[in-house]
Amino acid sequence: MNYSLGIDIGGTNTNIGLTTEEGNVVAVETFKTKAFDKVEDYLDEITKRVVILCKKVEPKDTILGVGIGAPNGNYYNGTIEHAPNLQFNGIIELKKELEPRLKQEGFDLKVTVTNDANAAAMGEMIYGKAKFVKDFLMITLGTGLGSGIVVGGKLVYGSTGFAGEVGHTIVEPNGRQCNCGRNGCLERYCSATGIVITAKEKLEECAACSLLREYDENELTSKAIYECALKGDKIALECFDYTARILARGIANAAEVTSPRKVYLFGGLANSGELLINPLRKYLEEELYTVYRNTIEIEQSGLKEADAAILGAAALTFE
């Protein structure tokens, strides 16, 4: 039996899992990313926790490597570069710093880095629904919108290692202001953040009564909108419909580049299931150029949310 280490770096927590080839997470180490001011201390902590997990495995040459999924993770450079939601500025040399640290502890392991959406796409290929799917898009709907592009069974990294920023394609010229400094990016509409903006806009535009009006402005989350939609609230349902329509446009534009057979949705908002996916299927067919109609299936990811980020990262070691 072979093992891998999957590391999921988030703004709040860092989760490190020891995984088997079959996709079981057998042990996890978790700590607060935010607890560290200096990147060196943070890297030391990762090293310490990885070593704890590695010591559980005998013989140690059954450990294939360490995979890391991180915001703005770069596959070619083995780095995190200018991640807006981490307290460490600039470039973090994960691979260059972690490999020698681990070697010093007696574990000569290759460290592979990519962004979280790419890691999810790898996870989908190895442990999810995409085992036999050569061309697909992975769309992660969290605070933002991430994407992993798979062409011919391989993740697309592109010339920079940053390929797959579908969340920052422009779907509405002169549209909503995005954190990236431009206007009309897909993720400003289609993400947990985006649907809340939509709800606020709709509540302002019209005076119709809505369960959504019972929430304070800062209590109004994508989950609240989901729950109101389940109860049949008209404005909440309109929010999902609008999100689906704009998401269809963004997916269509990306699909017209690579012609995927499947689109997998993952993350918070994707858990709304048919409430989002049903209108999305309808709008996608409308938005697609003729030759692609009825060629693309949209499904919820087959990855279990709790383990997905760790398994996705661990899957990088199989490449």
- In the complex, which residues of this chain contact a copy of itself (CB under 8 A)? 72, 81-82, 134-135, 149, 151-152, 154, 156-166, 168-173, 180-182, 185, 249, 252-254, 256-261, 287, 289-292, 295-296
- Closer to a copy of itself by CB, 82 or 131: give it: 82
The structure tokens listed for 112 are 């592979």
Backbone region of residue 49 per phi and psi (left: phi > 0; alpha: psi in -120 to 50; beta: other values): alpha
- Closer to a copy of itself by CB, 28 or 151: give it: 151
Query: At closest approach, how far in Å is the CB of 76 from a copy of itself?
Result: 11
Query: At closest approach, how far in Å is the CB of 53 from a copy of itself?
Result: 32
- Closer to a copy of itself by CB, 134 or 223: give it: 134
- Closer to a copy of itself by CB, 129 or 223: give it: 129
Residues 313 and 303 sit within 8 Å (Cβ to Cβ):
no
Query: At closest approach, how far in Å is the CB of 57 from a copy of itself?
Result: 33
Query: At closest approach, how far in Å is the CB of 153 from a copy of itself?
Result: 11
Query: At closest approach, how far in Å is the CB of 147 from a copy of itself?
Result: 8
- Closer to a copy of itself by CB, 125 or 149: give it: 149
- Closer to a copy of itself by CB, 85 or 295: give it: 295
Query: At closest approach, how far in Å is the CB of 274 from a copy of itself?
Result: 24
Per residue, what are the HEC states of the chain? CCEEEEEEECCCEEEEEEEECCCCEEEEEEEEHHHCCCHHHHHHHHHHHHHHHHCCCCCHHHEEEEEEECCCEECCCCEEECCCCCCCCCEECHHHHHHHHHHHCCCCCCEEEECHHHHHHHHHHHHCCCCCCCCEEEEEECCCEEEEEEECCEECCCCCCCCCCHHHCECCCCCCECCCCCECEHHHCCCHHHHHHHHHHHHHHCCCCCHHHHCCHHHCCHHHHHHHHHCCCHHHHHHHHHHHHHHHHHHHHHHHHHCCCEEEEECHHHHHCHHHHHHHHHHHHHHCCHHHCCCCEEEECCCCHHHHHHHHHHHHHHC
- Closer to a copy of itself by CB, 195 or 252: give it: 252
N-term to C-term CA, the chain: 17
- Closer to a copy of itself by CB, 137 or 212: give it: 137
- Closer to a copy of itself by CB, 44 or 93: give it: 93
Query: At closest approach, how far in Å is the CB of 273 from a copy of itself?
Result: 24
Query: At closest approach, how far in Å is the CB of 117 from a copy of itself?
Result: 12
Query: At closest approach, how far in Å is the CB of 71 from a copy of itself?
Result: 12
Within its chain, how far is the Cα of 127 from the centroid?
16
Residue with tokens 């093992």: 3
Residues 81 and 19 sit within 8 Å (Cβ to Cβ):
no
